[in-house]
Structure 1
Amino acid sequence: MAEKKHSTFDFFRYIKKKISIHLYLYVFVNALVGLLDGLGIALFIPLLTIIAGDSTESHESLGKLRYFTDFLQDIGISLSLVNVLIVMVILFALKGGFSYIRTLYNIKLRLYIIKRIRFDLIECLSNVSYNGFTQYNSGKIQNTLTVEVNRMTKAMTLLFESIQSVSMLLTYVLLAFFSNWQFAILVAIGGFISNFIYKYINKITKEAARNLSQTGTDFNTHLIQILQNFKYLKATNYVEKYDKKIKDTILKSQDLEFKMSIYNAITEAAREPITILIIALVIILQVNILGSAFSSILVSLLFFYRALTYLTSLQSQWNMLLNNVAGYESVSEILEEFSDDSEPTQKNIPITKIKHIEATDISLSYGDNAVLNHVSLHIKEKESVALVGESGAGKTTLANVICGLAKPDEGSLLINNEVLEDYRLDSYRNKIGYISQDPVIFNDTIFNNITFWDEKTPKNLERFWQCINLVALDNFMENLSKKEDATLGSNGILVSGGQKQRISIARELYKDVDLLIMDEATSALDSETEKHIKESIDSLQGKYMMVIIAHRLSTIKNVDMIYLMENGNVIAQGNYDELYTASDRFKKMVDIQNLDS
């Protein structure tokens, strides 16, 4: 997918879509805080003139804001020292109250958006098809779901701060305009000119932020690969070369972060000097050139000092926002990819029981590579079948079609004599257990691994121990001090390969499935452990519909039907004895493994 760049205003529209009318309410609360602050500041002039004893100067300096003091007098509040102070205290108290409301409102909106972002990512990832997922860069997914989401969260915080600054800025500009429109226009022009100083910095900051996102993806990709391949890298001493690759990425990331820090430091350091410079130049122009009295611009000056402070804060916030808005671009990009690769909308018909599976003339290609060629098979209720053949024969791909992970290009998969697409796919998968060559073990207790975090009720515990007995793990469990609460460690590092495999089988049995798919479930085990797993598998035959993929043919002697595959074709089928007699290829495979002796 070509990289799509999003503007900062796209980010604003995204946030607006998430919170709708709440954004306008947030702006209103900010404007109200600014108005109360401004009116409180305006009362400093009557306060000073009361002390000086010159009410005329007060009216001249307030400009049209004198309507506020006139209103106070109209409702019977004279402009005495005590009254003015009381009104000021009330105004600033109200401002404090609304500031508190604004802060809580800000937090609540941000937490809601963060929740929605994370929910959207997880839900969209869950809906991605298996075929689509295999095309992804796992480092990019990890970087986006962690680092880039955090950057987007920071960007959102800065966006709310920017909205706050804009609201306060406009409020103070409006108050300043009512106080002295000439002075207001001059300062506004100065602020507009200063904005060009920040425009260039903002541009290079945003580009650096995009590069930082890509570097983060590269780092996470390298990190995942060194963890996955650590044994090989260590044994061959390639780990040193790979270390250098990762360190180069870290140095590049640090260089980009340092550059962005420089840009942020420039905007932060320039904020106050630029504010004072603009105000100083405007005062000189207003007083010395236009001949206005300084008293006539005093209130407007106070408002504009406030306004320019928020303007320069806004410019600084905007620059930092650009540092982090690339996180939104990364999140948006991966959401679009997830959406493009999502599974089709599910139908409403659920599957309550898998009684019969029929693959009819199935063909499937990945690009120009034909993986399955007009393959057909039948599986009846509680019948066991095996798929055998050399690597690349198409066994796992056919299993992927059977469990709904891959959709064939041609042919159809019938479940209970209806095409799979007519059913709800999740209800079908609820009835499937999948056991792979590498057991899936979570860093948690044995109980949680097998029950998949079911509540530990007496009924669930009884079912748990039944599954433990079915896979012959009861002796192993008896020697554990914590029994079902014993932890397994990361990827089951605290138990053996055979124990991990039996735990993974027990999980599928606990699930109460109709179909068990075993993909090379014993190929990574030693002979003794394989014998125990084979006994577990044999004990399950006749109780479940089973699809067994095996290189070691010892596990399939007792299945009902064997499909021998080669280059995506089924070249022979029958039970073990029939195939051994009828197929030279199968006989050779058996003899090589010395299974006939």
Structure 2
Amino acid sequence: MNPKQTKPINQHLQRLSVLKPFRTRLLLGIAVMCITIVIELAYPKALAYFIDHLNSAKIDSSWIKNFAGIAAIVLVIQALATTLRYYIFESTGDMIVTTIRQTLFSALIRQDIAFFDKHRVGELTNRLASDVEALHDTLTMGLAISLRSSLVFIGCTVMLISISPTLSLILLIYIPLSLWMTDWIGNSLKTSAHHIQEKKAASNSVAQEYFSNIRLIHAFNQNKLANDKYADTADQALQVILRNIRLLASYRGLSSIVLYLALIITFFLAADLISQGKLTVGEFTSFIIYAGMASGSSSAISDFWSDWMRTLGATERVFEILGADDAKQAALKKNSDAIPNDGVSTKNSFHLQGKIQFNNVHFAYPERPDTAALTALNFEIQPGEKIALIGASGAGKSSIASLLLGLYPVNQGQIYFDNFLSNDSNINAIRDHIAIVEQEPALFSGSIYENIAFAIADREVALEEVIQAATKANAHHFISGFPNGYDTVVGDRGVQLSGGQKQRIAIARAILRNPKILILDEATSALDSASEALVQAALDELMKERTTIIIAHRYSTIKKVDTVFVLEQGHIVQQGQHQDLIKDSNGLYCQLMSAQISGNHT
């Protein structure tokens, strides 16, 4: 659900709902806070009593000692309560932020690939960092201070009226005016906060992008371009921040005028009441203290409201993502409960043989809905069959791989695995039987063991299993040569390894997964001859008795498959074995392969 389409009150309740799991801690904090409020409200009254009775004959030294002793005990109680209150609310704030951050990460990681096509990595990490952090102060300590200030304000108002109803009339003018100003600044700050977070996210995205391509930047001497691009986005964010500061500064100046004007009028009226004997000096002293406390509380409430409205704006995108994810998970559960999924739930309960069928599949990428990637695609692959997808760039080869993995939904048609229709309810179980080896293997910055063991999601993987898989992938020898062996850290995206080493680790990962269906996406095209021979030997081991889809251009790879599918503009134009397709000199296959075949005969 989009927050922009909801009523404003729902936005407040949505943010406050995250407090529910921590209500016991927060109620304890509120109870301790009430102790400090009662003590705080008692101070001015006690001071007034002390001042008005100093010259009384009834007061002796023992009374003063008792008064001081009681005051000391009360101060100790207040100090302990304040310490406990601060710890409870501050620690709860960190717990809430951590919980929301974990929930948001889970929601993000479950998003469709189309979501990540639309949003840059830097923007998403900014949501996890600064956007969520905005909730820390407002949701716990800020909310507690606001509640405390509200209770103090109410208590002070009662005490002020009990001391002098006449002087208290000024509050009838000051309070509504202050509340109106607070509401005005809050709405303005909410809008500006949303813009600030957008600009910060854009700036972080630029930094993320250039850091990720740092080698390319140095190779092309584009440090100045990177600096200029980041400086530009940072300046844009700064301008929005400065506009926000000017707005807040204007509000503080205006509220200061209103406050001091109210105080001046109060002093003039009090002087007249004292001269008439209707007010004592002690009462006036306590009235001033209560008025100062009420004013401070009012300012604290105003500040909180401003911060809260800024938080609403800053976290709008966060809760939009969380709300959409909740709706999606609820819909999936509803569909799963209402529609049988053919018994598909886990890898253990769902046994694929490896048959694949595309039935009149139409597909366009969500970001390019008017450009068809696949059109009326029909083909069938038998269990254990090895097929090759070839075609010019943009013909639809990688799109088929993406649909097999369920990374995007089809616009029309069906994809079957054996007799199971691929859909949202069973795609995870289907993926358990698929492995992919890409041209540029995706490796994490951890150890070699962690990268290979990544193949298994539902249990701990023994080192012996990893070693066995690496041995079959022709990777154990070079891994053993490292000082730390399988504990060797590969660096960001495997930067510490060569291309051939990365490929063999990716193949070991696929072997460990033991899939029924294997996707090889240009797995050897970027390697030198020596590395290709080792990798190809590993791939031959991996492909045994598995349905294999090979995206390739190399003749040496294609000639080994059972069937070749030739694609052009999203549909199959030729299909058959290499020796048959090559005979059609006018066919696209012959045009694509002729140069390589000629090269092999020279």
TM range (shorter): 0.7 to 0.9
Report whether the alignment pairs 1:446 with 2:444.
Answer: no
Give 1:357-372 correspondences, 5 Å limit.
Answer: 357-366=356-365, 367-372=369-374
Flag the 1:172–1:458 CA change in 2: closer, same or farther, 3 A.
Answer: closer
Letter in 1 for 2:484: K
Q: Give distance in 1, aligned partners of 2:113 and 2:329.
A: 9
Question: Which amino acid counterpart does residue 331 of structure 1 have in structure 2?
Answer: V
2:316 counterpart of 1:326: no
Q: Name the structure 2 match of 1:42.
A: 45
Picking from 576, 579, 590, the partner of 1:577 is 579
> Are 2:207 and 1:223 aligned?
yes
Q: In the TM superposition, what whole-angstrom CA distance separates every residue of 1:262-315 from its partner, at most 9, and x where no partner exists?
A: 666677788888756533421321332694324444433322222212222333
> Which residue of the partner structure matches residue 18 of structure 2?
18
What are the residue-to-residue correspondences of 1:319-468 with 2, within 5 Å? Answer: 319-335=306-322, 345=332, 347=336, 349-350=344-345, 351=347, 352-355=350-353, 356-366=355-365, 367-421=369-423, 423-452=425-454, 460-468=462-470
Q: Is 1:286 matched up with 2:270?
A: yes
Alignment partner, residue 128 of structure 1: 111
Q: Distance in 1 between matches of 2:363 and 2:297?
A: 62
1:414 and 1:232 map into 2 onto residues whose CA distance is 42
Please list, as runs of the form range in 1=range in 2, the aligned pairs for 1:164-203 lying within 5 A after superposition. 164-187=148-171, 189-194=173-178
Once residues 308 and 31 of structure 2 are traced to their aligned partners in structure 1, the CA distance between those partners, rounded to angstroms, is: 22
Bigger drift between 161-170 and 501-510 goes to 161-170
What do the CA deviations read for 1:193-223 (whole angstroms, capped 9, x no partner)?
A: 4556666655654444333222212212322
> Structure 2 counterpart of 1:354, which letter?
L
Distance (Å, rounded) in 2 between the aligned partners of 1:415 and 1:239: 49
- Higher mean alpha-carbon deviation, 33-42 vs 264-273, is at 264-273
Structure 1 pair 4–12 and aligned structure 2 pair: CA distance change class (3 A): closer
Alpha-carbon distance between aligned partners in 1 of 2:257 and 2:70, rounded to the nearest angstrom: 34
SS of residue matched to 1:412: strand
SS at match of 1:134: helix
Distance 1:371 1:548 in 2: 18
Bigger shift: residues 585-594 or 468-477: 585-594
Residue type of the alignment partner of 1:151? A
1:303 aligns with 2:290: yes
**Alpha-carbon contact 2:156-2:290 (below 8 Å) kept:** yes
How big is each residue's C-alpha offset from its partner over 1:569-593, in whole Å with a ceiling of 9 and x where there is no partner? 1222233333334573323322211
**After the TM superposition, which of the residue ranges 333-342 and 150-159 deviates more from structure 2?**
333-342
Note the alpha carbon deviations across 1:104-150, whole angstroms, 9 max, x for none: 33124323321332123112212211233323344432322223223
Distance 1:531 1:571 in 2: 31
1:446 shift after superposition: 0.8
Q: C-alpha distance in 2, partners of 1:359/1:310?
A: 67
- Following TM superposition, by how much is the alpha carbon of 1:440 offset from its aligned partner in structure 2, in angstroms? 0.6
1:4-83 correspondence runs (5 A): 4=4, 12-20=12-20, 29-53=32-56, 80-83=63-66
Instruction: After superposing the two structures, state which structure 1 stretch, 552-561 or 486-495, moved more.
Output: 552-561
Q: Alpha-carbon deviation of 1:34?
A: 1.1
Q: Choose 340-349 or 240-249, whichever is displaced more.
A: 340-349
* C-alpha distance in structure 2 between counterparts of 1:411 and 1:170, whole Å: 66
Q: Secondary structure at the match of 1:433?
A: strand
- Mapped to 2, the partners of 1:41 and 1:233 lie a distance apart of 66
The CA deviation at 1:539 is 1.8
- Whichever residue aligns with residue 361 of structure 2, its letter is I
- SS at 2:227 equivalent: helix
SS of alignment partner, residue 226 of structure 1: helix
Match of 2:125 among 132, 135, 142: 142
Identity %: 22
Could you tell which deviates more after superposition, 197-206 or 443-452? 197-206
Pairing partner for 2:590 from 564, 575, 587:
587
Q: CA–CA distance in 2 between the matches of 1:435 and 1:343?
A: 33
| CA spacing shift, 1:201–1:458, aligned 2, 3 Å | closer
Three-state SS of the structure 2 residue aligned to 1:513 is coil
Q: Which moved more, 1:297-306 or 1:254-263?
A: 254-263
Q: Which amino acid aligns with 1:16?
A: L
* The 10-residue stretch of structure 1 (291-300 or 106-115) with the greater mean CA deviation from structure 2: 291-300
Equivalent residue, structure 2, for 1:76: none
CA distance in 1, matches of 2:455, 2:541: 26
Larger deviation: 405-414 or 255-264?
Answer: 255-264
CA distance in 1, matches of 2:423, 2:214: 41
Q: Deviations over 1:3-36 (max 9, x none)?
A: 9499986654233212245667655553442123
Mark the runs of 5 or more structure 1 residues left unpaired by the alignment: 57-78
Q: Counterpart in 2 of 1:153?
A: 136
Q: Is the 8 A contact 1:431 1:515 kept in 2?
A: yes
- Cα RMSD (Å) of the superposition? 3.6
Contact persistence 2:19–2:96 (CA under 8 A): yes
> Does structure 2 conserve the Cα–Cα contact (< 8 Å) formed by 1:177 and 1:300?
no
Q: Distance in 1 between matches of 2:424 and 2:194?
A: 44
Cα distance in 1 for partners of 2:7, 2:295 equals 25
Tell me the equivalent position of 2:474. Answer: 472
Letter of the structure 2 residue corresponding to residue 357 of structure 1: I
Q: What residue number does 1:250 align with?
A: 234
Deviations 1:214-250 (A, max 9, x none): 2212212322333455555555555534432321222
Say if 1:335 and 1:581 are closer, same or farther in 2 by CA, change over 3 A: same
CA contact (8 A) 2:107 2:321 kept: no
Task: Give, in angstroms, the shift of residue 411 of structure 1.
Answer: 2.0
Please tell me whether the aligned partners of residues 132 and 341 of structure 1 are also in contact (alpha carbons under 8 angstroms).
no
Within 2, Cα distance between the matches of 1:537 and 1:151? 49
Asked if 1 retains the 8 angstrom alpha-carbon contact of 2:3 and 2:316, the reply is no
Q: Is the alpha carbon distance of 1:2 and 1:416 closer, same or farther for their aligned partners in structure 2, counting shifts above 3 Å? A: closer
Label 1:178 to 1:17 Cα distance change in 2 as closer, same or farther (>3 A).
Answer: farther
Offset of residue 324 of structure 1: 4.8
Gaps of 5+ in 2: none
Q: Aligned equivalents of 1:497 and 1:485: distance in 2?
A: 19
Q: CA deviation at 1:462?
A: 0.5
* Superimposed CA distance per residue, residues 357-391 of structure 1 (whole angstroms, 9 cap, x where no aligned partner): 22222222342222222222333333322211111
Letter in 2 for 1:43: A
The structure-2 alpha-carbon separation of the partners of 1:99 and 1:270, relative to structure 1 and needing over 3 Å to count, comes to: farther
Q: For residues 280 and 554 of structure 1, what CA distance do their matches in structure 2 show?
A: 93
The 8 Å contact of residues 455 and 509 in structure 2, kept in 1 or not, is answered as: no
Instruction: Please give the residue correspondences for 1:98-113 in structure 2 after superposition, counting only pairs within 5 Å.
Output: 98-113=81-96
Quick check: 1:441–1:492 contact (8 Å CA) kept in 2? Answer: yes
Q: Please state how far the C-alpha of 1:480 moved relative to its aligned partner.
A: 0.8
Checking the alignment, whether the CA contact within 8 Å between 1:213 and 1:327 is kept in structure 2 is yes
Which amino acid in structure 1 is aligned with residue 168 of structure 2?
A
Q: 1:579 to 1:538 in 2, by over 3 A?
A: farther
Q: Say whether the 8 Å CA contact 1:29–1:98 is kept in structure 2.
A: yes
* TM-score, L = length of structure 2: 0.83
Instruction: Evaluate the alpha carbon distance shift between residue 82 and residue 240 of structure 1 in structure 2; reply closer, same or farther with a 3 A threshold.
Output: closer
Question: Secondary structure of 1:174's partner?
Answer: helix
Tell me which of 79, 83, 86 is aligned to 1:96.
Answer: 79
Letter in 2 for 1:51: L
